């Protein structure tokens, strides 16, 4: 297989793990229900995309931070194993908050504050979900550290990084696209989407953390056995 497609196969699963995150989707749905829907949503998307891109660029240009190209292979092995264990522990912790049958999960604490957001707050909030968020930032870093070890030129790596960020943004791009296409019917639809995401966000996050935790531990063990 061509190195370009090999690199895509190795990195894009992380992007799909990010795009399935429920909290950013809840946030942008709420922003689209505020009085400054369009500007707040665009600001959130800009902050989110910039955050993902920033983490990716740092890892690509300073691969030693994650044991990538130019760094120690054992460092990347340790990082994968540590992240795998952390993700599994987090999944066990989050499992406690999965509501039982017929019960409703409480809304996230930050939800009430979004109604008063303007452009700068929305940008910072989008950035917050991308960079300080352990799950999302670690997935970008892991994907890009794998990419940094490939034999591709920097131009191809940057192209894959852009593809990665776009795919990782699908989840937060869907609500604005629905808003633009179906503005008149958007309020009841978004209210229904928000209720479903709020009630199932713990289950979705549990599954993402558990799957990627197991995957990273498995990959770390394979790297040790080589």
What is the per-residue pLDDT for 96?
86
pLDDT of residue 74: 64
Q: Express each pLDDT in 168-186 by its tens digit.
A: 999 999 999 988 888 777 7
Phi/psi of residue 67, nearest 5 degrees: 75, 25
pLDDT value of residue 46: 95
Q: What pLDDT, on the 0 to 100 scale, is given for residue 64?
A: 65
- For residue 184, CA distances in Å to 177, 180, 190 come to 13, 9, 12
Terminus-to-terminus CA distance in the chain, angstroms? Answer: 21
Distance CA 119, CA 32 (A): 13
pLDDT of residue 112: 66
The pLDDT value given to residue 186: 79
Residue 96 neighbours by CB distance under 10 Å: 8
Burial (Cβ within 10 Å: 0-12, 13-18, ≥19) of residue 30? buried
CA 79/CA 142 separation, integer angstroms: 9
Q: Which residues of the chain have pLDDT under 50?
A: 70-71
Mean pLDDT rounded to a whole number for the chain: 83
Q: Among 153, 161, 145, which Cα is nearest to 65's?
A: 145
pLDDT at 76: 66
Distance CA 164, CA 217 (A): 22
Q: At 53, phi and psi to the nearest 5?
A: -65, -40
Distance CA 184, CA 122 (A): 23
- In the prediction, which pLDDT does 159 show? 93
What is the predicted pLDDT for the residue at 161?
Answer: 93
The pLDDT score that the predictor gives to residue 148 is 83
Report the distance separating Cα 82 and Cα 213, nearest Å.
9
CB neighbours of residue 33 within 10 Å: 18
* CA 135 – CA 168 distance, rounded (Å): 12
What is the residue extent of each domain of the chain?
Answer: 3-28+37-100+112-225
Give pLDDT, residue 110: 67
């Amino acid at each position: 297989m061509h190195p370009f497609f090999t690199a895509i196969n190795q990195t894009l699963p992380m992007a799909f793990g990010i795009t399935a995150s429920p909290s950013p989707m809840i946030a942008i749905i709420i922003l689209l229900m505020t009085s400054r829907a369009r500007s707040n949503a665009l600001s959130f998307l800009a902050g989110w995309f910039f955050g993902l891109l920033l983490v990716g660029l740092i890892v690509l240009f300073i691969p030693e931070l994650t044991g990538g190209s130019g760094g120690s292979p054992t460092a990347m092995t340790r990082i994968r194993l540590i992240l795998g264990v952390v993700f599994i522990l987090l999944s066990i912790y989050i499992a406690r908050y999965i509501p039982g049958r017929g019960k409703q999960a409480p809304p996230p604490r930050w939800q009430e504050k979004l109604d008063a957001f303007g452009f700068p707050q929305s940008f910072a909030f989008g950035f917050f979900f991308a960079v300080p968020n352990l799950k999302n930032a670690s997935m970008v870093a892991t994907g890009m550290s794998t990419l940094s070890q490939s034999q591709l030129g920097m131009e191809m790596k940057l192209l894959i990084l852009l593809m990665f960020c776009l795919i990782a943004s699908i989840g937060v791009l869907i609500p604005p696209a629905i808003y633009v296409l179906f503005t008149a019917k958007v309020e009841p639809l978004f209210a229904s989407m928000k209720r479903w995401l709020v009630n199932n966000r713990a289950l979705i996050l549990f599954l993402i953390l558990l799957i990627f935790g197991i995957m990273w531990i498995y990959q770390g063990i394979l790297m040790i056995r080589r």
